[in-house]
Copies of this chain bind each other. A is one copy, B any other.
């Protein structure tokens, strides 16, 4: 019998307790040990809970109990999760977390502490909810060089974009609907501004390339500026707008990493990932493209990924899993201004014919797009591949020529 503790009894935490108690036999057969939840840490009271005898408000109960071998951290946020996790690892307890913010910001340090104490620090649930991705990437793709990872990593924004694309629902209405359905929080900033997707692509990038990629070095743009007009132009172009997290290894050893809305061709496997679903593409030199698809959030999917990690910890109490990356710096990341891609631009001008001539002088390989119902002074186009800084200069140049750039969205090479 292995004793564990669960820190945080919110959506995911209560899901973890539910999955462990409802699948106890199959879990015991897989883990080769029975798993018992000895403590549940939460500052709130849960009167009448069937787990009343397990609740504690004092972290010291857990850290001081040598019987507890595995601790599940599902509180979220950095404080106090970071201190608690660190102390658990330092005192020889393995830790399983679903906390993407913690892993994205403190992963290298915590992995190093885990290594030094010969315990495991696992975080399958931090990316893709119930979709297995951390483990397949670190194990099954061991015989591959990962060329690129790209995907839809945030279900909330994907739900909003799906409503905008399929039902021409304006952004604000779609966000409100997502909040009413419980897909978006009352403060939706971390989702709609791309921070959540950024944390996840940072975790995948760190795992794939062995160096910690910190979110603050990653170009991150959300979907708040996407309009229905852009959605219509994307359709005219032959695709859809999706919020994509993407990372590639460059020949210079740096990673080209970004989180931003992109035009995705309709034929791409990623273009068909809709609603709250996530889809993650891993391009290996041997496997080619492998795509993982499923619900990226939610109580039970996330909880089941946490519990799979707990089982793995129990099976490997004396042997560490291979899951490690070293610390990284800003120098590991290619400056965004140096990266190369093509863009879609929507603009307005008094004389669009004249404006289009000017545009052709500033951007590479300009191709015009049209849509039904466009105002007379609006026009839109796509470009060929250009350096990001050259795109910015071109935007500035046409601005000085009386052209008003209304939106600019990267075109994916997926």
Contacts and interface: CB of A to CB of B under 8 A. Distances in A.
Nearest to A20: B143
A244 to B, nearest CB: 17
A162 to B, nearest CB: 12
A300 B144 CA distance: 10
Contacts of A131: 287, 290
B141 A132 contact: yes
Contacts of A23: 143-145
A30 B287 contact: no
A139 B136 CA distance: 10
A170 interface: no
A141 B131 CA distance: 9
Contacts of A130: 284, 286-288, 290
B305 A140 contact: yes
Contact of A30 (B293, B308, B322): B322
B269 A304 contact: no
A71 B300 CA distance: 39
- For A31, A291, A315, which residue has the most chain B Cβ atoms within 10 angstroms? A291
B322 A304 contact: no
Nearest to A287: B130
Contacts of A284: 130, 304
A312 to B, nearest CB: 7
A160 to B, nearest CB: 19
A272 interface: yes
Name the residue in A130, A141, A303 with the highest tally of chain B Cβ atoms < 10 Å from its Cβ.
A130
Interface residues of A, number: 49
A132 B143 contact: no
Contacts of A298: 288
Contacts of A311: 139, 142-143
A20 B269 CA distance: 30
Interface in A100-126: 124
Given A139-B312, A305-B140, A287 B294 contact: yes
Nearest to A311: B142
A264 to B, nearest CB: 13
Contacts of A269: 272, 293
A288 B293 contact: no
Contacts of A272: 269, 272
A15 to B, nearest CB: 8
Nearest to A288: B295
16 contacts: A23-B145, A26-B143, A135-B139, A140-B305, A141-B304, A143-B305, A269-B293, A286-B300, A286-B301, A286-B303, A288-B295, A288-B300, A289-B293, A289-B294, A289-B295, A293-B293
Interface of A: 15, 19-20, 23, 26-27, 30-32, 124, 130-132, 135-136, 139-145, 269, 272, 284-295, 298, 300-301, 303-305, 307-308, 311-312, 315, 319, 322
Given A130-B288, A135-B135, A136-B136, 17 more contacts: A19-B286, A130-B284, A131-B290, A132-B136, A132-B139, A132-B141, A139-B308, A141-B308, A143-B305, A286-B303, A287-B295, A287-B301, A288-B294, A288-B295, A288-B298, A289-B294, A292-B293
Closest A-B pairs by Cβ, 10 of them = A132-B140, A286-B304, A130-B287, A143-B307, A290-B294, A132-B136, A291-B293, A286-B300, A143-B304, A30-B142
